[in-house]
């Protein structure tokens, strides 16, 4: 079941999309990767959804990626005696370590590590940025702040502090349990929340132990200060515009998104643009024109994938949201301006034989009007390198490992297939490539294809062969 577009769709599963019928409809509408949000639902909920996705994969014959998104260290205030208060602009409000229920003047903030970090002038956002305060004074037990933007505030709302780097573990005890469970299921990607620096990825990398790809969610302004280092240390990156939009001024988010996508393209790491892409479709059967333009802009910018969150997890129109996102992507990719914009964003070229092969692969594909760019890969790195070049012909990725094929479901332009035997020599490689291109519906007899592989076969990261072939006519 081949997609006829290059950018991919990630959709979150949740209460509105947990039964087999709906998940199948989402897949048929265009989902390439399903996201399991471990901030919500039980492990058994996720297990049931995992089994449904894998059953659909078996029935369709198409590898499907599964992303486990860990909750991370979410900061929250305590409770109020009345359950809810009203913060008034211009008034003072205090956060403290007292576990007593809060009132109109104060509330508990059970995160002692924050109190030594905050100082006069620092910002505090509450409830996903709806409420904003500025610190007046702080000590080891109190943070006194002025309300800048007021409004209703209820129990256990989230806290964002954009001006400081938090000295807290990125992986909580809940995350550890969820991570081990997700890996035991066999998920393909693990997303790490609230990454602030490259070092934050080290523990997760060790815990994952190569069993899944490591995806960094960029949602802290401090992470942008070490963007290149974080992207290099990641296997993929998500532009998590929810918390990023809370901690950055809104006018800075579009530029940050473009910077992140640029860095991902430079280093050949798959990217996802996420959060509020079709937000109105939680309640409406059609998006706003601004939302459609937002999705289209991400595709023009060269993202590997776009993601639906509440739209598919808890919204009233999950399948329609995927269908409309699919239509937007296809419309952009048919636009003559699209390849020009992708080419204008061409990445830096390293002086290495490997880079030379892939630059040549892209050029050859264009010159001979190849119907497919074929990559042989064990780990997926050859296919990702080809995707980094953004050839206009589809990338047919041939691998002996289903885990690699599933992981590549996230990558731009990659149509991944599993071949149950290794090729012994170049002639067998060419014959197999031509046969699979034909059977997968990518080309017809007489069409040209371009092939990239490594010699000797079976040695990861050794791409050194470029071959042009013609699909033979039937005997």
Residue ranges and CATH numbers for the domains of the chain are 8-73+170-335 (3.20.20.60), 84-160 (2.40.33.10), 353-470 (3.40.1380.20)
Taking only Cα atoms into account, the Rg of the chain, rounded to an integer number of angstroms, comes to 24
- Considering the chain, what percentage of its residues have pLDDT values greater than 90? 84
Question: Rounded distance, CA 324 to CA 23, Å?
Answer: 16
What is the mean pLDDT of the segment spanning 387-405?
95
**Does pLDDT of 25 surpass 70?**
yes
pLDDT score, position 205: 97
56-83 mean pLDDT? 95
361-381, pLDDT tens digit by residue? 999 999 999 999 999 999 999
pLDDT of residue 1 exceeding 70, the answer is no
- Name the band, by pLDDT with cuts 50, 70 and 90, for residue 81: very high
| Angle, CA 111 vertex, CA 106 and CA 115 arms, to 5° | 75
pLDDT band per the 50, 70, 90 thresholds, residue 347: low
The whole-number pLDDT of residue 425 equals 85
Confidence of residue 238 (pLDDT cuts 50, 70, 90): very high
Distance of CA 414 to the CA centre of its chain: 16
Per-residue confidence at 456, pLDDT binned at 50, 70, 90? confident
Write the pLDDT tens digit of every residue in 285-328.
999 999 999 999 999 999 999 999 999 999 999 999 999 999 99
Mean pLDDT score of the chain, rounded to an integer? 94
Q: What would the mean pLDDT of 28-33 be, rounded to a whole number? A: 98
Residues 6+ apart with CB under 8 A from 14: 37, 40, 41, 310, 312, 313, 314
What average pLDDT does this structure show over 448-467? 81
**Confidence class of residue 474 from pLDDT cuts 50, 70 and 90?**
confident
In this structure, of 254-263, 285-294, 346-355, the range with the lowest mean pLDDT score is 346-355
Q: What is the pLDDT of residue 228?
A: 96
| Mean pLDDT along residues 64-81 | 95
Length of the chain: 475
Q: How far apart are CA 318 and CA 90, in angstroms?
A: 41
Quote the pLDDT of residue 260: 97
For residue 453, say if its preceding peptide bond is cis, omega within 30 degrees of 0: no
Percentage of residues in the chain with pLDDT exceeding 70? 97
pLDDT in tens, 92-128: 999 999 999 999 999 999 999 899 899 999 999 999 8
**Contact yes or no for 388/268 (Cβ under 8 A):** yes
At 168-214, the pLDDT tens digits run 889 999 999 999 999 999 999 999 999 999 999 999 999 999 999 99
pLDDT of residue 459 exceeding 70, the answer is no
């Amino acid at each position: 079941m081949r997609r006829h577009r290059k950018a991919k769709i990630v959709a979150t599963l949740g209460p509105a999309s947990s039964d087999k019928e709906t998940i199948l409809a989402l897949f048929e509408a265009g989902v390439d990767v399903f996201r399991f949000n471990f901030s919500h639902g039980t492990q058994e909920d996720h297990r049931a959804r995992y089994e449904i996705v894998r059953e659909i994969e078996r029935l369709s014959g198409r590898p499907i990626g599964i992303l486990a998104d860990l909750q991370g260290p979410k900061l929250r205030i305590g409770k109020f005696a009345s359950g809810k208060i009203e913060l008034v602009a211009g008034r003072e409000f205090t956060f403290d370590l007292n576990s007593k229920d809060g009132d109109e003047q104060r509330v508990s903030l059970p995160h002692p590590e924050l109190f030594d970090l905050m100082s006069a002038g620092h910002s505090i956002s509450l409830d996903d940025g709806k409420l904003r305060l500025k610190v007046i004074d702080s000590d080891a037990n109190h943070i006194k702040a002025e309300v800048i933007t007021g409004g209703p505030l209820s129990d256990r709302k989230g806290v964002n502090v954009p001006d400081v780097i938090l000295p807290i573990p990125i992986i909580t005890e809940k995350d550890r349990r969820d991570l081990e469970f997700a890996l035991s299921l066999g998920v393909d990607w693990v997303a790490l929340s609230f990454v602030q620096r490259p070092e934050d990825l080290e523990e997760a990398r060790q815990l994952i132990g190569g069993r899944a790809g490591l995806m960094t969610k960029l949602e802290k302004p401090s992470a942008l200060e070490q963007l290149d280092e974080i992207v290099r240390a990641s296997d993929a990156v998500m532009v998590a515009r929810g918390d990023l939009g809370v901690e950055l001024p809104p006018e800075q988010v579009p530029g940050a998104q473009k910077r992140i996508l640029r860095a991902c393209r430079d280093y050949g790491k798959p990217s996802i643009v996420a959060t509020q892409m079709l937000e109105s479709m939680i309640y409406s059967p059609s998006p706003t024109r601004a939302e459609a333009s937002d999705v289209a802009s991400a595709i023009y910018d060269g993202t590997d994938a776009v993601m639906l969150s509440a739209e598919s997890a808890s919204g009233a129109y999950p399948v329609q949201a995927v269908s409309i996102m699919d239509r937007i992507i296809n419309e952009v990719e048919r636009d003559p301006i699209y390849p020009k914009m992708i080419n204008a964003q061409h990445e830096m070229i390293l002086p290495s034989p490997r880079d030379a092969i892939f630059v040549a692969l892209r050029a050859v594909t264009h010159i001979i009007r190849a119907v497919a760019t074929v990559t042989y890969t064990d780990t997926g790195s050859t296919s990702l390198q080809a995707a980094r070049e953004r050839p206009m012909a589809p990338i047919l990725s041939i691998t002996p490992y289903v885990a690699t094929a599933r992981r590549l479901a996230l990558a731009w332009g990659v149509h991944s297939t599993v071949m149950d035997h290794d090729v012994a020599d170049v002639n067998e490689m060419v014959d197999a490539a031509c046969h699979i291109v034909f059977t997968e519906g990518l080309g017809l007899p007489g069409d040209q294809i371009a092939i990239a592989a490594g010699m000797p076969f079976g040695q990861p990261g050794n791409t050194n062969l470029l071959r042009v072939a013609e699909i033979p006519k039937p005997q």
